[in-house]
Structure 1
Amino acid sequence: MRSRPVSGRAMCHPRCGGRASCRWRRGRQWRCGWGTSERLRIEGLRTIKANPQRASGVRHDAHAALRRIRVSPWRRLGHDEGCSFQELPMFARLTRRAALAAALLALPATAFAQSWPTRPVTMIIPFAAGGPTDVLGRVMAERMSQILGQQVIVENVGGAGGMTGTARVARQGQDGYSFVLGTVGTHAVNQTLYKEPLYNAATDFAPVTLIAEVPLILITRKDFPASNLQEFIAYVKANQSKLQYASAGAGSAVHLGCLYLNSVIATNDVTHVPYRGSAPAIQDLVGGRVDYMCEISSTALPHIQGGTVKALATMTSARAAVLPDLRTAQEQGLQGFEAYTWNAFFMHKAVDPAILARLRAVTIEAMDTAAVRDRLVALGATMAVPDRRGGPYLQRLVESEIAKWAGPIRASGATQ
């Protein structure tokens, strides 16, 4: 490697006596080995290679490498001790701070990722506390905290059908210390429901893993004048301008389910009342202030069992394991009708691949924990099977769901 001298006047130090071994000559270029920044990088890599378990001590290793080089920088760069420091090329005269920065930047990013996380991690749940997505997220967070050895903090950031919280990860989550629990609403429906969505669900995220699929249940206030789906359809058709249906927010899975149902049974004049999450929506349903909902089974179940609401149909092709006696919409005459939601983790699109892989492994380990699996199944969830847990599968799911719901949403005229 060749480097130009600092000036044409540069010459050997008087003590070298013009020996042939000195590589510094008047008017000639300096021939030496690697530069300081390259040697810093090599020193750091050697340290990590010798002890890969000390990835968390990268700063210490960089400092140590710097100290070794600074003992005699011109000697390490290939000069006799007679050559003075002032005669070194300018790039070699780095300050301690600049050299350390160069060393840290040169070290591979995976060295930092190996020790992830070194502080608490935030799980963004883009809906209000107490709702079905929140319940599932908190069950997962507790076990994931145990596996990681760092707390997984649950933060509820509702608004805009889940887009507000989801957008935070898309914009600020590149450091790997926040991720979002997404749904069919946040990562499919909102892309068509809103004319100007806050993010591109297909390109702005790195898919982690699919966790579970959850059926929707058609529930009504307990005094609603219908005891099955066909009676419900007849009553809604005759009174649609007087009725209201609730949801966890525009674009939520709960909104999607009833939007789809209303379009199929031709009752699009029913008023939609969006809430900031399922919990306040169900509260008003129990209180009789709204007429019906297409609620996620995990949230609807305790109210059905408690008799505070009435369940009329399971909105999937198969009956829910937690409500085996409740007939499906297909069994009650709506052939081919199916509405459900799913839950999955997503990170920022630019997150380090090693961190993404680590979170995926931790998520799967939590899913396979018997206590977690039993709790979620008891809430009505169907856990994702192994061949549906990879990032590529989740990416394909998001893209297909966006296309699947675009037509019904546009046909309903619900685009905002």
Structure 2
Amino acid sequence: MLTRRAVAVGLALAAARPQLAAAQAYPTRPVRLIIPFAPGAATDILSRLMAQQLGDALGQPFVAENRTGANGAIAAELVAKAPNDGYMMLTGTFSTHATNPHIYPRFPYDAVADFAPVTLIATVPQLLVVHPALGVSTVAELRAAASARPGAITAATGGLGSSQHLSAVLFEQAAGVRFDTIHYARGFAQLLPDLLENRVNLTFGDPLALLPMVRDGKLRPIATTGETRSELLPDVPTLAELGLPGATALTWYGLFVAAGTDPSIVARLGAAAGAAIRKPEVAARIRELGGVPSGLSPEEFAIFQRREFARWGEVIRAAGIRVE
């Protein structure tokens, strides 16, 4: 005679079989990959690269779809509130999942609780450049000049709370200096003409975007914010090498699905994405874009994202950065 415990276990196993079977068959129809920023941006390029790779690996189309607005929040909220069946993914970023929730009040999603991390695609350091007319060639010289004239050196950013702004804040905190920070409301491209004319003195930015101006001698690179030197500029030291490990800052891109998605589906997506990122041709394309390929497992990416969320929350609160 069956015991009550045996009956209960049997019923539980029977109830789990359809869900297990669905996870093993996943995906059985196209998957939407939501991109929070405009076509042509790094997020868009990496997303479409991953969509192609995942489609090839898993046998169903992964359809890339741009949903712009609210600095990525519209796309992220869409995925956060989607059915947790794995058929809608998000390319989340440093801003959507680590910084913006601390900067904007009444944010429409919880960057940690509302998502299941799949994999980290890549990290990207910032490049610190100065106009040659500023007369500094090293970080030591910049610190000395900024210390001698607090607030006299101008740092340009692509907006309050942008990656350029937060990198400048970290540098100020680590180096014990103060810049006059000028925010360009329409983004990074808007500041470049003023930087090239030395109306502003320095900025932190994407190495790939700044590389042509560096090669032409119009801007002088003095450090990167990465954990290791950039392959695009191997002769440029990191801030950590120069005695400022607290100024290390990475922008990053990763894949997420809605919280509560079956762990076996998350694992299947993570394994396929990680394998794709480790392909030589895919890794090479990521490096061409100025990134460092990653491919963390879902568990590793979850730890990374929580650490980033906590770290940037502390930085943002300490600096009093808030958009009301």
Distance 1:411 1:149 in 2: 47
Structure 2 counterparts to residues 3-18 of structure 1, below 5 A: none
2:33 match: 123
Change (3 A) 1:347 1:291: farther
The secondary structure found in structure 2 opposite 1:172 is coil
Instruction: Give the C-alpha shift of residue 332 in structure 1.
Output: 4.2
2:43 match: 133
Q: How many residues align?
A: 307
1:177 match: 87
TM-score (norm 1): 0.63
Instruction: Give the C-alpha shift of residue 314 in structure 1.
Output: 1.0
Change (3 A) 1:212 1:111: same
Pick one of 68, 88, 96 that aligns with 1:186: 96
Structure 2 counterparts to residues 217-256 of structure 1, below 5 A: 217-220=127-130, 226-233=136-143, 238=149, 240=151, 243=154, 245-247=156-158, 250-256=160-166
Distance 2:101 2:166 in 1: 13
1:142 match: 52
Pick one of 308, 317, 321 that aligns with 1:410: 317
The secondary structure found in structure 1 opposite 2:301 is helix
The secondary structure found in structure 1 opposite 2:34 is strand
1:391 corresponds to 2:298? yes
Pick one of 266, 278, 291 that aligns with 1:381: 291
1:313 corresponds to 2:223? yes
Greater gyration radius = 1
Change (3 A) 1:308 1:170: farther
Instruction: Give the C-alpha shift of residue 359 in structure 1.
Output: 1.6
Change (3 A) 1:354 1:263: same
1:39 match: none
Structure 2 counterparts to residues 81-120 of structure 1, below 5 A: 108-120=18-30
Change (3 A) 1:318 1:327: same
Deviations 1:5-30 (A, max 9, x none): xxxxxxxxxxxxxxxxxxxxxxxxxx
- Identify which range, 204-213 or 226-235, moves more after superposition: 226-235
| Residues 153 and 179, structure 2, Cα contact 8 Å, conserved in 1 | no
CA RMSD of aligned residues (A): 3.4
Partner amino acid, structure 1, of 2:316: I
Change (3 A) 1:252 1:124: farther
Pick one of 88, 97, 116 that aligns with 1:206: 116
Distance 2:141 2:250 in 1: 22
Distance 1:157 1:255 in 2: 24
1:351 match: 261
1:272 corresponds to 2:183? yes
Deviations 1:185-214 (A, max 9, x none): 222222322232221112110111222222
Distance 2:218 2:45 in 1: 20
Change (3 A) 1:359 1:317: closer
Instruction: Give the C-alpha shift of residue 216 in structure 1.
Output: 1.6
Distance 2:206 2:55 in 1: 26
Change (3 A) 1:142 1:220: farther
Instruction: Give the C-alpha shift of residue 271 in structure 1.
Output: 2.1
Change (3 A) 1:294 1:244: closer
What is the percent sequence identity of the aligned residues? 34
Instruction: Give the C-alpha shift of residue 345 in structure 1.
Output: 0.9
The secondary structure found in structure 2 opposite 1:108 is helix
Unpaired runs of at least 5, structure 2:
1-13
TM-score (norm 2): 0.78
| Residues 241 and 271, structure 1, Cα contact 8 Å, conserved in 2 | no
Change (3 A) 1:285 1:348: farther
- Identify which range, 201-210 or 165-174, moves more after superposition: 165-174
| Residues 258 and 294, structure 1, Cα contact 8 Å, conserved in 2 | yes
Partner amino acid, structure 2, of 1:253: S
Deviations 1:273-326 (A, max 9, x none): 2446x5x45765676586543223344445534555432211134322221111
| Residues 183 and 253, structure 1, Cα contact 8 Å, conserved in 2 | no
Pick one of 263, 267, 279 that aligns with 1:369: 279
1:152 match: 62
| Residues 36 and 91, structure 2, Cα contact 8 Å, conserved in 1 | yes
Pick one of 162, 182, 200 that aligns with 2:72: 162
Unpaired runs of at least 5, structure 1:
1-44, 46-104
Change (3 A) 1:183 1:149: same
| Residues 207 and 394, structure 1, Cα contact 8 Å, conserved in 2 | yes
Distance 2:44 2:193 in 1: 19
| Residues 155 and 179, structure 2, Cα contact 8 Å, conserved in 1 | no
The secondary structure found in structure 1 opposite 2:38 is coil
Change (3 A) 1:331 1:350: closer
